Structure formats: structure tokens, C-alpha cells
Structure 1
Amino acid sequence: MHTILKNHTIFRGSSLINRIYTATDVSNVTFNNCNIEKMMFVEGTLRELSFIDCETVARLYLVKSQLHGAKFKRCSLVDFTSIRTQMHDSEFNIVNIKGMDIRGTHFKKCVFIKTTFEKIAFGDTLFEKCSFRNCTFTKCTFGTLDKSKIVEFTGCSFLPGMIHLLPNKFIDCNFRADALGLATTLFLLPILNNNIVFEGGNLIGLDRTNLCDAKIKKESYANTPTKVLTNEENYFLETDFWSYHSPPKKEKVNKCAHFFSSRGLTR
């Protein structure tokens, strides 16, 4: 059902089914404590669009749209599809995303807090490439990500939380665990990651992964099986290693395969 959406509109406690908004240019629209079954925004410009305390948001579609300052708080997104959409300065806070398809979508300066991504699909072609730029992920949980390489994380920060299965390209990103080292990062594809900083946590599945100009504290790999990190296909270029017990001491490793055995950095 095609409907008209007006500025400064609040839907409170409503049940919304099969709503389609086309070429909509609106500001300050809020869905509060609503049950939503299929809602679609097509070729729209949406400023300050908010979904607050919506227990179930089933089949939310964003197609060729621009979102600025969107907020998703305390929501469950059953099927979130965003196709060739731009999302800027938006916030996901305590959100459970059961299914997410973000082909051709670009996130910039977005904040994700305590957000669970159960399953994410990125797309398979360059035309469907998506990216996260200067975004922050805090205490987020990643479930199953597809094995596409058509996604980039640039200038992003991954703060305390459980991080699983991130097989894509990272540039100038920071991964930081909490004091208990609960964050676990998995790299499973032979890709090149530039200027990465790891602080704490366990690195698992690093074989066939290349790190260039990375900074890795010893606690990041102290609990990782040596046989994984000594794989001859590992290359650490211009990589700085800090010892957990003596932080001032630093060793520089240049183009070093088998760095554990050659530099005496075994567990």
C-alpha cells in the first residue's frame, strides 16, 4: 500500500503492514513501540528516522535511499534489506538483526552499540560493493557473514565485545578487547589488511592472512595455537610486536614468515 509520510510524525503503538513510501523527503519521523510487517522506502531522503522499542520489525526495505541521523534503539529486525542506500551518522543501539542484506549500501560515521548481527549478506559483484567508513562497533556480536570480499571497513573501531568471522578487508581499523580479553577476531581469507591495530583478545585462523604495517600486542596472540601463526603463508610486513610483560621493549619484523620460530616469540 503506497502511503504518504509527513514531517514530524510519530507512530505510537501501531501495527503497520505493507507500507510503501516512494520518493519521500521527510524529517523527524518516529515509530515507537510499533509492530511492523513489511515497510519499504524507495528512492527517499530520510532525516532523523527513528525506530524505538519496536519489538518486531519484519521485512524492512531501504532501496536507493539516503538516511541521515537514523536511530534504531531496542529493536528486533527480522529481515533488514538495504539495497544501494547511503546511511550517515546513524545509530544502532541494542538491536538484534536476525537477517541483514546490505548489497551496495554504504555506512559512514555510524555507531553500533550492543548490536547482534546474526547473518549478513554483502553481495557478490563490484556493483553491489558495500562499505563501513569511520564507524564504531561497541560490544557487538557478529554471527555468520557471507564469504564475499565485496565489503570494506575503513577507519573503523571495534571496541570490547565478541567479534566472530570477519573475512573482509580492513584499512586503518582498531580492534580493542576489554580487560578480560573476550574479543575474538577471526580472519579466514587470504586478504591484505593495512594499518591495523590489535589490542587484546585472541587472534584465531590467521593462516593465509597478510598484515601490513600492523601493531599487535602480545596478548593478542598469546592464546593462539602456534601451528596456526607459524604457517608459512603468513606475512607480517613492518609489524611491531609488544611484549605483554615488558611493554617498552619492541621488536621490528620485516617480511618475516615463521616469525614465532625465527624470533623466539613462541608461547
Structure 2
Amino acid sequence: MINYNGSLVEDSGIAVHQNRGFLYGDAVFETIKVLDNKVLFLEDHYFRLMASMRIVRMEIPMNFTMEYLEAQILLLVNQLKKNASFRVRFSVFRQSGGFYLPKTNAVDFIITAEPLESVLYSFDTAAYEVELFKDFMVTKQLLSTIKSNNKLVQITGSIFAHENGYENCLLMNDEKNVVEALQSNLFLLSGNRLITPPISDGCLNGVMRKQILAIARKIEGLEVLEESISPFDLQKADELFLTNVIKGIQPITKYRKKEYKSELAAELLKKLNVQIRLG
């Protein structure tokens, strides 16, 4: 079952050959975690979705309030098999018509959801090796910071990682700075300095990235910075970890010959779960 423009249906009936999201990648989306009937980080997801729609010049419907989006997500979740936690995708695409130039900027939306096994975020201590993906770069521009249907860099990078036995790959921008992983933001700890690439480098403006920055800035003695990261910086780091709203925090255990600790990542995850319980 899905939510198509506010109606719960088994099938949207959309003709793929006419859908602009399929034909041109003319769509933006949010990946959202719902826990115990609560949309986590709702405000951050809402404002990022609104910003994404404005950036690509979609017409924002008058009823697209934060309360409306929350209600539409919970409408679907509550109709599915009872589960404590869900992964939700809220997709918005321009209505059919036109070629590169659309005939309208009006939009439709689809919400899908699938149950998650974990409730709160858990810490994974299994081996997690990454490598740089050099075949294609992330462009250092505003479009790279939003979640759109144009994910060919991430798709080809995921195939590369799978074929070569890596858990993930790190992506570089056109200035050869490391900006993010295939589906996550990147954090690097060196001494007492926690660094994540700035949005201006072309990384995703991640919702979990924002949460971790806020939590880390409250830790005494930890200097939190948004600075460019070079490939050379990776091998000097004490810790590397990844963040997204579904996984929370994923520590990287190995990059090439360098192995990493995960003490700060574990501490941040505990604080994140406390914040969610209190929220």
C-alpha cells in the first residue's frame, strides 16, 4: 500500500513512460525514519524538502504544511502491518508533460514505507572497509546538496563497492576533496578535532549530519569544524564514521592500510538515542 496524493492505494496507476521522475529524474525525495508513530526530525526533513522543491523550481502546493506532510506519512504507516519502526520515502515529482522544459511546475507525491528491524539506533562493531570511488565525481554545486532522483554516481559507486568487496565508497568532488559516502555524510576525528565537509563542497545537506553536529558541539574539549577533507587526511585520522537517518552512525573500521577506533562514534550514538527518547 502507498500514499498517492493523499489517498491510500495499492497501485498509483502512474504511466511510467509519462512520468517526469522516471524520464528526466525530475523529482526530489526525503528518506525518513518513523519510530513509535513519531516522524523523527520532522522539521528538518520538511524544510529540506521545501528548499529542494524551490531549488528545482517546483510549485509548492498551499496545503504542503509540515503538519500535512506528517499526517500523510502517519496515515500510511498506521495502515501497514503494526511495527515500531519504519523507513519512509516521501517522493515529489513534477506532473507529466513537456521535455526538458516542463509544461507545468505543479507536482504530485508518493509516500512508501517499509518496516525496520531496529527501533533505536544501534552500534555496529562489524568490519566496515571503504575505498575512494574515482570513476565519477560529485559536482561542487547546490544541486548536489539535495536528494534528487539523479543518483547515477551513487549507483555506479555502489556497484564498484560490491564488486570489490567494500562496504562503502567515499566520493570526491571536482576539486578532489572527499565530500561524503555513497548514502551517508562523512565525519573525521583527528585528535580533539571533529571535521565534516562543508555543504559548499557539494555534500548532501544531511538531516543526521545536522543532529550529530549539534550533539558534538556540546561535548567539552571537542573542536567541531566544517572543513574540506583531502584523501591524505583520511589516513591521518583517528576515527572515521558515516551518518544518515536510517542507520544513525556507522563507524568505518578500515580504509586501505589504516584501521580506526570508534570511541567517539559510540558516545555520539548513545547521546543521539537519549535525545530521541527525550524528544
* Bigger proportion of residues as helix: 2
Structure with larger Rg: 1
Question: TM-score normalized by structure 2?
Answer: 0.25
* Bigger proportion of residues as strand: 1
Question: Higher relative contact order at CA 8 Å, sep ≥6: structure 1 or structure 2?
Answer: 2
